[in-house]
Amino acid sequence: MKKRKHNSVKSLDEFVEDLQAGGRYAFSRDEAIGEWKVNALTLKKAVMRLVGKRRLAVPRRGFYVIVPAEYRSAGAPPPSWFIDDLMNHLGRPYYVGILSAASLYGAAHQQPQEFQVVTDIPQRPMMAGRSRIRFMVKSNLERTPVREVKTETGTMRVSTPEATALDLLRYVRAAGGLNNVATVLAELAESIDGRKLVEAARVDGEIAFAQRLGYILDLVGAGERTKHLERWINKLNPRNAPLKRGEPLKGCPVDRRFRVVVNFEVEADI
């Protein structure tokens, strides 16, 4: 979280106004105590007063979000305004992913109901006004290709279209199930580069997700994006992967291009 330069402040209201004037919309408890020169109890009372006035939101203890006038009815600005500050405050690596990332690339059949973030250890869901922030865990997070995307207040880390496509299959429940995944992929396909898709699948390390992804992209008419992926998969000669985990496999047809057991009928809304 960036430090600001200013003279000592007389009240939390003044501190908040000063931050907002400088284009900042989040701060920590420790920063406020250090700048305002008060104890934790005094700060807590002042924070609760501003929360009551809908001037502050508190998605996590010790982390405060400034609410500008245009977002008072919503209770907080969008998570994109403060997610980078929040994750820096928590000291955790992250990227915005799954449906939230797909929507940033124009693949939003309907607006995601939650702001989805991938990080390295479990985190409780958070609420900031009406916005729910949900966290997924990924052990090989540092290998996922990401982009720095500009926001209203700075930047945030977002998975690339190719990594997003793979994550839609990895976190299929969070993505609304296979039918919704197919619907989103039909729109996301325009942003996917075939060669970068192979590289994203290679660093991801779990080929079954790439197999399912190739099959669904082919199914929704984006087969031209999967030629390199198909060659890479067949070179590795993996076992057949079930399209839907947990469903019966006996008697189901097998897609030979991507070595997928088609044990679920995908219906995309396209």
HEC secondary structure over 82-147? CHHHHHHHHCCCEEECHHHHHHHCCCCCCCCCCEEEEECCCCCCEEECCEEEEEEECCCHHHCCEE
Specify the pLDDT at position 36.
87
pTM above 0.75, yes or no: yes
Specify the pLDDT at position 6.
46
Per-residue pLDDT tens for 183-232?
999 999 999 999 999 999 999 989 999 999 999 999 999 999 999 999 99
Question: Alpha-carbon distance 267 to 11, whole Å?
Answer: 57
Enumerate long-range contacts of 145-149, CB under 8 Å, 24 or more apart.
145/196, 145/199, 145/200, 145/203, 146/95, 149/96, 149/104
Question: Alpha-carbon distance 239 to 70, whole Å?
Answer: 54
Q: Considering all CA atoms of the chain, what is the largest pairwise distance in Å, rounded to the nearest integer?
A: 74
Per-residue pLDDT tens for 146-181?
999 999 999 999 999 999 999 999 999 999 999 999
Task: Estimate to the nearest angstrom the gap between the alpha carbon of 269 and the chain centroid.
Answer: 23
Question: Alpha-carbon distance 247 to 264, whole Å?
Answer: 8
Per-residue pLDDT tens for 73-115?
999 999 999 999 999 999 999 999 999 999 999 997 677 789 9
Specify the pLDDT at position 226.
97
Architecture of domain 12-71: Orthogonal Bundle (1.10)
Letter string b/e over residues 211-250, b meaning 16 or more CB atoms within 10 A of that residue's CB: bbbbbbbbbbebeebbebbbebbeeeeeebbbbbeeeeee
Show me where the domains of the chain are located: 12-71, 80-261
Per-residue pLDDT tens for 118-150?
999 999 999 999 999 999 999 999 999 999 999
Check pLDDT > 70 for residue 4. Answer: no
The helix or strand, by DSSP H or E, that contains position 262, with its residue range, turns out to be none
Q: Which of 33, 34, 70, 32 is nearest to 54 (CA)?
A: 70
Q: How confident is the model at residue 7 (pLDDT cuts 50, 70, 90)?
A: very low
